[in-house]
């Protein structure tokens, strides 16, 4: 599935290691794990050479990741249905409250017209079958101004009006 | 009235272009209907029984002549020459073509209007007191905070895909004319000394599970309001139910957790906000927005003598003035309700010509200020009494001077099965039939203040739960039936009405209401005891008895 990041389509080197045993965690393979499995294996994963990440489902509490955010390199936030907006709160919390600075990727039912909000909420990568790169780039710039502060750090209109 | 600056104007313009693109992608087939649906809904476009419907936002019901005139023009240009004002103080057009909607939105943007978030599972139009800025009983004008909430909630990136729709209402008056107890978040502006703050109520609503909102915080200082509200929204977005759309409103979360536990979670989220997460609304911005709502330069001339003379000379005018005026904080002024409830009409409907007439009257006589009330009427909030007679004459000639504000024929009525694809039964004809029984203005005044609200289905757009008498259309094996409830109220003593008994056939509803009123007239201690007060005093039993009595 196409992966879009930093204005370009990039290769996806990551593998999602869902429910199987540890044999799928090949030493040189970048993997993301479900939150529960990640928490269970965190100690051993910390020593791996290959990059490690986590995939959150909407019910997951991102706060549980706080002790690991220094070294994990990818958090995937999944949208089983694009109408399920919990991932936006997870993203804002990871970026703004827990200080995560690594890649934050939206996966699942990711559509062009959600990407503006995703970007504002702190996502910087989008795995999507339903949006071509040019239309995603267009979506990111559909609004020149935004009223609220959010994880993207854009100056809010409330503040821009007063030069603050 | 608030005026757009360059930022507001650009955001609305960008939205028009974005929606134009979305419509084009839909028309070309690039977007599937399923994917287009939430996009069009967040722009107020519904697919109804017969056509697309466009719902245009009227933030906190605020209009002026230019805006209302443009709403009239849009109805002529893209629809069938009328619009329907709703209980969220918005306007709906029922017959627009999808391909025309971007142009209609562009026309609206020219007068600083839009359809943003008038539907969908997001934060909807903020409603307020239709007498805001004019009412004698308010501690301050609530509109500046409505405008701040409007801006903050517009395209909020975190709260665009909530479990369900989300409605704010704000009041600052002793008498609650904004029905804050039946909103997802109801705010009452209060003062502690000079400090302005908010009582925050959460989890009210109607629909199939009517509930009154719980007080979550009795004083949030104004500078902290948006941060506090963000905490509420985040708790709801994360933990509100998404497994069942009928249990997805915040009221269910509050009810299932209990108000104490819900409040604890909100307070915990609020306490966890780090300094850089705060919106930190600049005081200069609060002041800037407040400045737009400064009162007009009120006419100092005392027109009372002319007003009294006109009443003495013209009984119909006197009757209208007795019913459709509301006390104003400024001497020599009144607030006028322009009734959109003529006997036999469709509640809340106005033709293009009627809209133009009201726009002209506001510009000529009433400081160019117009409101939409949640009871589906128009209001001229600031009118020098010396102009009342001229205004009445013009309204009367246009069919807009029905003297029935807050009387038994001032019904709240949803569009019902005549338009809406959710409805189980028709609402408009039932309302008309009830009106016919009580058409005599003198009889209506004898009965006194009484609210009858009619919904065509359990979604309760006609607010039947909070009508003194509520009428709910239900489907019984393909036949339209109507359930009567008694004792609801939407004001500061908000209550949910109780179902009186078995549902009735539509043809039996007007007679049943008449019997309830006859019982009330016999039971009341004096003409000053309102229906709702008599009901409270004697209980529902005598009314139920009357309701089901057969001749």
Model confidence pLDDT, tens digit, residues A144-156: 999 999 999 999 9
Residues 6 or more apart whose CB falls under 8 angstroms from that of B532 comprise B450, B468, B487, B489
d(CA B332, CA B362): 17
Query: Does residue B156 contact residue B212 with C-beta atoms inside 8 Å?
Result: no
Computed over every residue of chain B, the mean pLDDT equals 96
Rg (CA), chain B: 23
Can you say how many angstroms the Cα of residue B408 is from the centroid of all Cα atoms in its chain?
18
Q: Token pair of B153, please?
A: 């909630």
Q: Which region, left, alpha or beta, applies to residue B241 given φ > 0 means left and ψ of -120 to 50 means alpha?
A: beta
> Which chain A residues contact residue B10 at CB under 8 A?
144-145
Instruction: Express each pLDDT in B362-410 by its tens digit.
Output: 999 999 999 999 999 999 999 999 999 999 999 999 999 999 999 999 9
Q: How confident is the model at residue B551 (pLDDT cuts 50, 70, 90)?
A: low
Q: Token pair of B117, please?
A: 């978030």
Residue B112 main-chain phi, psi, to 5 deg: 65, 45
Q: What is the CATH number of the domain that holds A134?
A: 3.20.20
Q: Do A148 and B14 touch (CB under 8 A)?
A: no
End-to-end CA distance of chain A: 41
Note the pLDDT of residue A21: 61
Instruction: Express each pLDDT in B18-54 by its tens digit.
Output: 999 999 999 999 888 888 888 898 899 998 777 889 9
Note the pLDDT of residue B302: 86
Q: Which of B51, B23, B44, B53 minimizes the C-alpha distance to B35?
A: B23
Q: How confident is the model at residue A24 (pLDDT cuts 50, 70, 90)?
A: low
Q: Do B282 and A92 touch (CB under 8 A)?
A: no
The residue in chain B having the minimum alpha-carbon distance to the alpha carbon of residue A160 is B7
Residues of chain B with CATH 3.30.413.10: 134-291, 412-548
User: Looking at the predicted structure, is the pLDDT value of residue A164 above 90?
Assistant: no
d(CA B336, CA B358): 11
Note the pLDDT of residue A23: 55
> Which chain B residues contact residue A114 at CB under 8 A?
161
State the pairing for strand pair B412-413/B452-455. parallel
Q: Does A98 touch chain B (CB under 8 A)?
A: no
Note the pLDDT of residue A22: 57
Can you say how many angstroms the Cα of residue B507 is from the centroid of all Cα atoms in its chain?
28
Instruction: Express each pLDDT in B212-224 by its tens digit.
Output: 999 999 999 999 9
Query: Does residue A147 contact residue A162 with C-beta atoms inside 8 Å?
Result: no
User: Looking at the predicted structure, is the pLDDT value of residue B241 above 60?
Assistant: yes
* Cβ pairs bridging A and B (under 8 Å): 112
Compute the average pLDDT of residues B276-281: 94
Q: How confident is the model at residue A28 (pLDDT cuts 50, 70, 90)?
A: confident
Handedness of CA B445, B446, B449, B451 (dihedral sign): negative
Q: Do A159 and B237 touch (CB under 8 A)?
A: no
* CATH class as words, domain B134-291: alpha beta
Percent of chain B at pLDDT > 70 equals: 100
Instruction: Express each pLDDT in A99-128 by its tens digit.
Output: 999 999 999 999 888 999 999 999 999 998
Instruction: Express each pLDDT in B468-485 by its tens digit.
Output: 999 999 999 999 999 999
Q: Does A99 touch chain B (CB under 8 A)?
A: no
How close does chain A come to B278, measured CA to CA in Å?
A: 8
Total number of domains constituting chain A:
1
Residues 6 or more apart whose CB falls under 8 angstroms from that of A8 comprise A133
Q: Which of B440, B460, B547 minimizes the C-alpha distance to B504?
A: B547
B304-397 CATH: 3.90.480.20
**Interface residues of chain B, partner chain A, Cβ below 8 Å:** 5, 7-8, 10-11, 14-15, 17-18, 21-22, 35, 38-39, 121, 151-152, 154-163, 234, 237-238, 242, 272-274, 276-277, 279-282, 284-285, 288
Q: How confident is the model at residue B63 (pLDDT cuts 50, 70, 90)?
A: very high
Instruction: Express each pLDDT in B315-359 by its tens digit.
Output: 999 999 999 999 999 999 999 999 999 999 999 999 999 999 999
Note the pLDDT of residue A18: 81
Give the mutation candidate from A106, A113, A164 for the B interface (greatest B CB count, under 10 A): A113
> Which chain B residues contact residue A145 at CB under 8 A?
7, 10-11, 14
Fold of the domain spanning B6-109: Sulfite Reductase Hemoprotein; domain 2 (3.90.480)
Note the pLDDT of residue B420: 87
Q: Which of A22-31, B49-58, B288-297, B497-506 has the lowest mean pLDDT?
A: A22-31
Q: Does A12 touch chain B (CB under 8 A)?
A: no
> Which chain B residues contact residue A113 at CB under 8 A?
22, 35, 39
Domain that holds residue A81: 3-160
Residues of chain B with CATH 3.90.480.20: 6-109, 304-397
How close does chain B come to A60, measured CA to CA in Å?
A: 9
Q: Which region, left, alpha or beta, applies to residue B416 given φ > 0 means left and ψ of -120 to 50 means alpha?
A: left
Note the pLDDT of residue B429: 96
Q: Which of B420, B418, B325 minimizes the C-alpha distance to B377?
A: B325
Does B326 or B550 have the greater pLDDT score?
Answer: B326
Our CA dihedral for B356, B361, B362, B364, rounded to 10 degrees, sits at 120
Q: Which of B412, B461, B468, B459 minimizes the C-alpha distance to B435?
A: B412
> Which chain A residues contact residue B272 at CB under 8 A?
97
Does B524 or B52 have the greater pLDDT score?
Answer: B524
Q: How confident is the model at residue B153 (pLDDT cuts 50, 70, 90)?
A: very high
Query: Does residue B466 contact residue B476 with C-beta atoms inside 8 Å?
Result: no
Note the pLDDT of residue A20: 62
Give the mutation candidate from A157, A163, A164 for the B interface (greatest B CB count, under 10 A): A157
Instruction: Map residue A145 onto helix, strand or coil.
Output: coil
d(CA A134, CA A148): 26
Of B17, B158, B280, the CB nearest to A150: B158
Query: Going edge to edge, which strands form the sheet with A52-56?
Result: A8-10, A3-5, A125-127, A103-108, A74-79, A52-56, A30-34, A14-16
Give the C-alpha distances (Å, rounded to integers) separating B487 from B175, B214, B500: 18, 20, 10
Instruction: Express each pLDDT in A65-102 by its tens digit.
Output: 999 999 999 999 999 999 999 999 999 999 999 999 99
How close does chain A come to B531, measured CA to CA in Å?
A: 45
The reported pTM is 0.96
The architecture CATH gives domain B412-548: 2-Layer Sandwich (3.30)
Of A82, A113, A120, the CB nearest to B22: A113
Q: Which of A59-73, B124-138, B190-204, B416-430 has the lowest mean pLDDT?
A: B416-430
How close does chain A come to B277, measured CA to CA in Å?
A: 6
């Amino acid at each position: 599935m196409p992966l879009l990041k930093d204005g370009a389509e990039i290769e996806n080197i990551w593998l999602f290691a869902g429910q199987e045993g540890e044999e799928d965690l090949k030493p040189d393979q970048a993997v993301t794990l479900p939150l529960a499995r990640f928490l269970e294996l965190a100690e051993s994963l910390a020593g791996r050479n290959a990059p490690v990440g986590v995939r959150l489902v909407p019910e997951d509490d991102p706060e549980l990741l706080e002790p690991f955010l220094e070294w994990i390199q990818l958090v995937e936030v999944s949208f089983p249905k694009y109408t399920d907006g919990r991932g936006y709160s997870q993203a804002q919390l990871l970026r703004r409250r827990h200080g995560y600075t690594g890649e934050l990727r939206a996966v699942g039912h990711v559509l062009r017209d959600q990407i503006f909000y995703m970007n504002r909420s702190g996502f910087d990568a989008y795995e999507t079958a339903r949006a071509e790169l040019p239309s995603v780039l267009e979506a990111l710039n559909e609004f020149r101004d935004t009223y609220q502060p959010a994880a993207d750090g854009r100056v809010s209109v409330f503040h821009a009006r007063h030069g603050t | 009235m608030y005026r757009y600056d360059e930022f507001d104007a650009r955001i609305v313009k960008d939205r028009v272009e974005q929606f134009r693109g979305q419509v084009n992608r839909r028309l070309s087939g690039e977007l599937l209907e399923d994917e287009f649906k939430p996009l069009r809904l967040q722009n107020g476009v519904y697919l109804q029984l017969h056509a697309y419907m466009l719902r245009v936002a009227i933030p906190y019901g605020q209009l002026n002549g230019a805006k209302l005139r443009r709403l009239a023009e849009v109805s002529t240009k893209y629809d069938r020459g009328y619009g329907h004002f709703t209980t969220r103080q918005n306007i709906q057009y029922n017959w627009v073509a999808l391909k025309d909607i971007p142009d209609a939105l562009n026309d609206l943007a020219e007068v600083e209007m839009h359809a943003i978030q008038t539907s969908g599972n997001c934060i909807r139009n903020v409603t307020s007191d239709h007498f805001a800025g004019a009412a004698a009983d308010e501690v301050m004008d609530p509109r500046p905070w409505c405008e701040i909430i409007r801006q903050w909630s517009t395209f909020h990136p975190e709260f665009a895909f909530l479990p369900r729709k989300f409605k704010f209402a704000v009041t600052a008056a002793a008498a609650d004319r904004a029905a804050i107890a039946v909103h997802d978040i109801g705010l009452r502006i209060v003062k502690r000394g000079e400090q302005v703050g908010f009582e925050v109520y959460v989890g009210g609503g109607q629909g199939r599970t009517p509930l009154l909102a719980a007080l979550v915080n009795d004083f949030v200082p104004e500078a902290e309001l948006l941060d506090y509200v963000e905490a509420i929204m985040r708790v709801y977005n994360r933990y509100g139910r998404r497994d069942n759309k009928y249990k997805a409103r915040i009221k269910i979360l509050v009810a299932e957790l209990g108000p104490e536990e819900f409040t604890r979670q909100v307070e915990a989220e609020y306490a966890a906000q780090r300094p850089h997460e705060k919106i930190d609304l600049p005081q200069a911005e609060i002041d800037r927005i407040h400045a737009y709502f400064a009162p007009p330069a009120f006419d100092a001339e005392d027109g009372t003598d002319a007003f009294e003379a006109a009443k003495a000379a013209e009984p119909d005018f006197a009757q209208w003035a007795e019913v459709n005026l509301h006390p104003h904080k400024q001497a020599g002024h009144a607030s006028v309700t322009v009734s959109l409830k003529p006997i036999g009409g469709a509640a809340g409907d106005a033709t293009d010509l009627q809209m133009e007439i009201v726009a002209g009257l506001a510009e000529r006589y009433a400081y160019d200020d117009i409101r939409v009330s949640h009871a589906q009427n128009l209001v001229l909030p600031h009118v020098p009494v010396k102009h009342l007679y001229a205004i009445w004459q013009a309204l009367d000639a246009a069919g807009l001077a029905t003297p029935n504000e807050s009387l038994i024929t001032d019904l709240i009525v949803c569009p019902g099965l005549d338009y809406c694809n959710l409805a189980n039964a028709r609402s408009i004809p039932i309302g008309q039939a009830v009106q016919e029984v009580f058409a005599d203005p003198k009889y209506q005044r004898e009965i006194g203040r009484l609210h009858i609200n009619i919904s065509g289905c359990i979604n309760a757009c006609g607010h039947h739960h909070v009508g003194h008498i509520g009428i709910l259309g239900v489907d019984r094996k393909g036949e339209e039936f109507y359930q009567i409830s008694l004792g609801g109220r939407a004001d500061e003593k908000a209550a949910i009405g109780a179902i009186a008994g078995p549902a009735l056939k539509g043809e039996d509803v007007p007679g049943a209401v008449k019997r309830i009123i006859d019982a009330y007239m016999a039971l009341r201690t004096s003409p000053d005891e309102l229906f709702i007060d008599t009901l409270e005093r004697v209980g529902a039993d005598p009314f139920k008895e009357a309701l089901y009595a057969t001749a």
